[in-house]
Amino acid sequence: MKGELCIIIHGFAGNLQEIEPLAHALLKMDYEVITPLLPGHSIDKRRMEKVTALNWLETIEKMIKRAIEEGKHIHLIGFSMGAMIASIMADRYKITTLVLLSPAVYVLTPHVLRMRLRELFHSLVLTDRSVRGDQLFIRSIPIHNVFQFHKIVRQAKSIFRQISVPICIIHGRNDETVDPKSSEWIFRIVSSKDKELHYLSHSRHHICLGSESGSVIQMVSEFLEKHHLEH
């Protein structure tokens, strides 16, 4: 889509893999797509120790400012913490649409604790080394950065009422990291007249990588296409 830019922001302690299927699909639809790697999110987690919430925000802000100067229509898409960063930017700058995937509003609730206990049980008999490696990866995150993550969450929660841009929110009902009620809360509180909320019956946190990733791609592409036609 000429002149239409999708900026897709990954989650806290994540990487580009968690949003890659969606990015690839949008590229095939001829959107310009940028998938920035947030500061400190390299393989070496020690590099994250001095990174702040401001660094993450500034990385995305620079891209948005450049795109605005170039006259592009901006679609902000964020996953988990990336959804919160996208929301903060949507409050600051004029964008075309906002897409939130598993937005991280509530991260410690009875639902999440139940899901974590279930995860713990399964981990006792886990044989998939890649999953175990991911768990060790998360445990290696400096506590300083956990505080920075919560700064992002608090800042985003304070501005959702001011968001009026067209918004699409998608969440898995079996999310083991973020309570699915996060998306319902955002849907209720935003000022957007054009807003959509979709729940995926079988998906966990990484909705772009699960069994319903095709549904995610379809929902997002149809939402963007609807607003493309308005220009």
Which among 15, 73, 7 has a CA at the least distance from the CA of 40?
15
Q: Using the predicted structure, report yes or no on whether residue 36 has a pLDDT greater than 50.
A: yes
> Which two structure tokens, joined as six digits, stand for 79?
């996953």
If pLDDT is split at 50, 70 and 90, which confidence band does 96 have? very high
**Does residue 175 have an active-site annotation?**
yes
Mean pLDDT for 77-95 is 97
Burial class of residue 89, CB neighbours in 10 A (0-12, 13-18, 19+): buried
- The annotation status of 12 as a binding-site residue, yes or no, is yes
Active site residue: 10, 41, 73, 205, which one? Answer: 205
Contact (CB, 8 A) for 207 and 218? no
User: Between these two residues, 117 and 99, which has the higher pLDDT value?
Assistant: 99
Total count of domains within the chain: 1
pLDDT above 70 coverage of the chain, percent: 81
User: Between these two residues, 126 and 5, which has the higher pLDDT value?
Assistant: 5
- The annotation status of 81 as a binding-site residue, yes or no, is yes
**Does residue 91 have an active-site annotation?**
no
DSSP 179: -
User: Between these two residues, 120 and 152, which has the higher pLDDT value?
Assistant: 152
Look at residue 183 in the predicted model and tell me its pLDDT. Answer: 98
Q: Which domain holds residue 195?
A: 4-228
Active site residue: 41, 73, 80, 228, which one? Answer: 80
Q: Output the pTM of the full model.
A: 0.88
Look at residue 133 in the predicted model and tell me its pLDDT. Answer: 41
User: Between these two residues, 60 and 110, which has the higher pLDDT value?
Assistant: 60
Mean pLDDT for 102-123 is 68
Mean pLDDT for 74-79 is 98
Contact (CB, 8 A) for 77 and 99? yes
Average pLDDT of the chain, as a whole number: 87
**Does residue 24 have an active-site annotation?**
no
Active site residue: 175, 179, 182, 203, which one? Answer: 175
Rg (CA), the chain: 17
pLDDT above 90 coverage of the chain, percent: 71
Look at residue 229 in the predicted model and tell me its pLDDT. Answer: 52
**Placement of tokens 């919160």 in the chain:** 84
Q: Find the CATH number of the domain harbouring 221.
A: 3.40.50.1820
